[in-house]
A and B are shown apart, each in its own frame.
Chain A
Amino acid sequence: MRKELEQIEKIEQYLKDELSAAEKVSFEAEIAHDPILQSQLSFQADLVSNIERIGLRSSTKAAYKKYLFKKIALISAAVIGVLTFITIATIYFSTSTNPPKDGSQDEFGTDVEIVQPSEQIVPLLENDSLYEEVDSLSTVVDEIDSILSEAFQPELVPLRLIYLPENDPLFAEANALLNQELFEINPMRDTVIESENGIVVYIPANAFDTRSRQVDFILQEAMTPAAIMYSGLNTMTESGEELETGGMFYLDAFANGKRVNLLKKLTVDIPSDPTKTGMQLYEGAKDEAGQILWKNPKDFTKPLLSVEITALDFYPPGYEKQMNAWGYLNKAFIDSLYYSFAGECREENEPSLKSLNITNDIGPVREDSKRDRVRSESESSEDMLPSEELDSAVFIPFDCGVNPASVQTIWNKKFNNTNLATKEFEARMPWIYRTCNTAILNLYINNIAKNLYEVDQLVAEQLDGNLKEKFLQFAALKQGKVETSSTAQKELNAYYLTKRKALESVIKRTNDAYWQKQDSLDCAMNRQTTAPNERYISNKN
């Protein structure tokens, strides 16, 4: 080793107090006489504490990541402890030897029978009040949510989590890894909750074996391959077969910190890929190694094929195509333009069903002329808008016959797994627009629990001419329904109503605020350019 390096070593030994007493004395004497050595010594001491500092820095950063992760995991962690291991998965049985009876695609797991958990007391951990600060969602969302949560009792409690202890009989590692959604429900009442990924759980009144007035219902889901992998879940059956899963979830419920038993069946709707056939419902069971294996496959009832509702086209006929032709490709924009018409409809009372006597000739013709108006502004008809206003009002051609707010309300994930979220219903939408009446749409919404063909029949009775024919044809298809319990359906209907009102009021208010702003800007402009504007006004008069 070079001499310089040897000196560094010596300084280090000195700093670490590793020199013998004699060496120390002589080294200190050396230092006293050598200013260069002194500065080297102090630099080296600084260097070492600085390195420590750098290490600490990276520790604080690593701890921050842990903290963030823990924050996420906290919210998610509680997800898995549930009523039962209802870690039930909708699993696709790739090796299935019994294809579904009618060859159609099953997609809902309904009537999930929940296995009674063993009597185990699960201590709840204290909620961590430290995570008080939650980022607030956009105000509109907040508002709608608050309106909904006033009307509906299950409340998603974002900050409180239930931690399943690792020795809990139902605990699996996934419970600690997946997001937890915790709903505080009143067990005396029927409750519908919807998870982030669209699992809808209908909980009938008195479903739990408890006298408590509050049950903490938690839901964890691994609906995507990424979530399944992340949470370490697998797709192995007890007998060692590989499954292809459509998603897994876990439900659990606690009252006063103790797991409560389930007395009634819950109904669970699970969104899944409609193109998969042979899906069955499996229960999860923990093996000795703590792995969840799947067992007891069950078929579920085969209802209408429900699809992801946002993937459907509920726009007025020609609307999207026209928007695209004009270069508007962004769905958010197209949506928002369409929905913005809702406020304008609001004052009008919805025409009663009887008022829609659409006759044989008016029906389609009106429709055509409306669509033409989108394309050509030259055509004149009595209900045409003055041409100068046409630019901004092109899409009122529907005369607000079908209120965009109604459409907006149903056209979202809350209505996944209902009759409305079906290709069959999508096929009816253009014809519903053609009726120019929200009441027709409402028939479908209000009778969401009925078979689609029954509603078709009801609708046809309200119509005349071609449209009647068309809906009779629909009825003849005898298309059934998306299976949900009828009580659950009522809850959903109520949900729909409340949400629609909330949406309308928010849209109205946003519109009003916008126009108010616009007006004040106009006023300001007018003040600046008084002269020309006065001319305009006098011309108009």
Chain B
Amino acid sequence: MNNTKIIHQLQHGDHEKAFARLYSYFPKMETYIRNNSGSKDEALDTFQDALIILYKKVQTLPADTDIKVDGFLVNTCKLLWSNELRKKKVRQSSGDGALEYLAYQDEIQSHIEKEEKLVKVESIIINIGDKCKDILVAFYYKNFSMEKIAEEFGFKTIQSAKVQKYKCMESARDLALKESTSNPQ
């Protein structure tokens, strides 16, 4: 698999294609995770998290530098899974010794920690409703223009689409606020 090509795809909005190619590592990781007290679903989740981390890593990659995409992905999976196992308190005794130091380990760990923080906000977004979520995803992830969003979601004017978007963000903020007051965690 062509490393440079995948990095290029990841950096230029073709990441879905790159992901599809990278799934060829999935069977290997699935076996790894299933051999380490995981299920197929967990393997898929972990692998998808690893793809996201790889994606973000590649976005921040300085020009003309390179990483080994496959090594990074595989090691991310392994680290994610070992974190997961630690959370599940499985094989604590034999535990961490099982993983030796992996290439990119520190970088990967810091990415994992960032992602874990984000996951907390995720539950909030789920609660603001599908339409809100879709609008926000269209704007922030797919980089749709407000015109396109207005058209796609059936708003009469761009302005009303915009207002709706901000309202969605506001309700997310209110939800987060509510959650943090009711649950200081």
The residues of A with any CB-CB pair to B shorter than 8 Å are 1, 4-5, 8-9, 12, 40, 43-44, 46-64, 66-67, 70, 128, 130-133
Contacts and interface: CB of A to CB of B under 8 A. Distances in A.
Give the dominant DSSP class at A's interface: helix
Given A57-B52, A67-B26, 12 more contacts: A1-B163, A5-B166, A9-B166, A47-B172, A50-B118, A55-B141, A55-B142, A56-B15, A63-B20, A67-B23, A130-B27, A133-B31
B140 A52 contact: yes
A188 B17 CA distance: 43
A115 B24 CA distance: 38
| Nearest 7 interchain pairs by C-beta | A55-B141, A63-B19, A67-B23, A130-B24, A60-B48, A5-B166, A63-B20
A184 to B, nearest CB: 23
B133 A54 contact: yes
Interface residues of B, number: 42
Contacts of B170: 4-5, 8
Interface in B132-177: 133, 136-137, 140-142, 162-163, 166-167, 169-170, 172-173, 176
Given A63-B20, A66-B16, A67-B23, A51 B31 contact: no
B88 interface: no
Nearest to B136: A51
Contacts of B166: 1, 5, 8-9
A64 B23 contact: yes
A8 B165 CA distance: 10
B51 interface: yes
Given A50-B122, A54-B133, A44 B16 contact: no
Given A47-B125, A48-B140, A55-B140, A70 B20 contact: yes
Contacts of B51: 56, 60, 63
Interface string B113-125: 0010110011011
B141 A56 contact: yes
B81 interface: no
B24 A56 contact: no
B55 interface: yes
Q: Which of B20, B170, B176 has the most CB of A within 10 A?
A: B20
Contacts of A1: 163, 166
Given A5-B166, A51-B137, A52-B141, A59 B15 contact: yes
B19 A60 contact: yes
Contacts of B136: 47, 51
Contacts of B27: 130-133
Contacts of B141: 51-52, 54-56
B80 interface: no
A67 B173 contact: no
B174 to A, nearest CB: 10
Contacts of A130: 1, 24-25, 27
A62 B141 CA distance: 15
Contacts of A128: 24
B133 A63 contact: no
Contact of B48 (A48, A55, A64): A64
A55 B15 CA distance: 11
Contacts of A62: 16
B44 interface: yes
A472 B175 CA distance: 88
Contacts of A43: 121, 173, 176
A56 B23 contact: no
11 contacts: A5-B170, A8-B170, A8-B173, A44-B169, A50-B122, A50-B125, A56-B15, A59-B15, A70-B20, A130-B1, A132-B27
Contacts of B48: 57, 60-61, 64
A73 to B, nearest CB: 12
Contacts of A53: 52, 115, 118, 122
Contacts of B52: 53, 56-57, 60
Nearest to B137: A55
Among the interface residues B118, B125, B142, which one has the most CB atoms of the partner chain A within 10 A? Answer: B118
A54 B19 contact: no
B16 A63 contact: yes
Nearest to A60: B48
Given A54-B141, A59-B19, A131 B24 contact: yes
Contacts of B169: 8, 12, 44, 47
B100 to A, nearest CB: 25
A230 B87 CA distance: 45
Nearest to B174: A4
Nearest to A46: B121
Contacts of B31: 133
Contacts of A70: 20
Nearest to A68: B23
Nearest to A62: B16
Nearest to B164: A5
Contacts of B17: 63
A46 B140 contact: no
B173 A44 contact: yes
Contacts of A59: 15-16, 19
Nearest to A11: B169
Contacts of B20: 63-64, 66-67, 70
Contacts of B117: 46
A9 B164 CA distance: 12
A195 to B, nearest CB: 26
Contacts of B162: 9
Contacts of B172: 47
Contacts of B47: 60
B16 to A, nearest CB: 5
Contacts of B25: 130
Nearest to B173: A43
A131 B28 CA distance: 10
A466 B51 CA distance: 76
B40 to A, nearest CB: 12
A16 to B, nearest CB: 10
Contacts of B16: 59, 62-63, 66
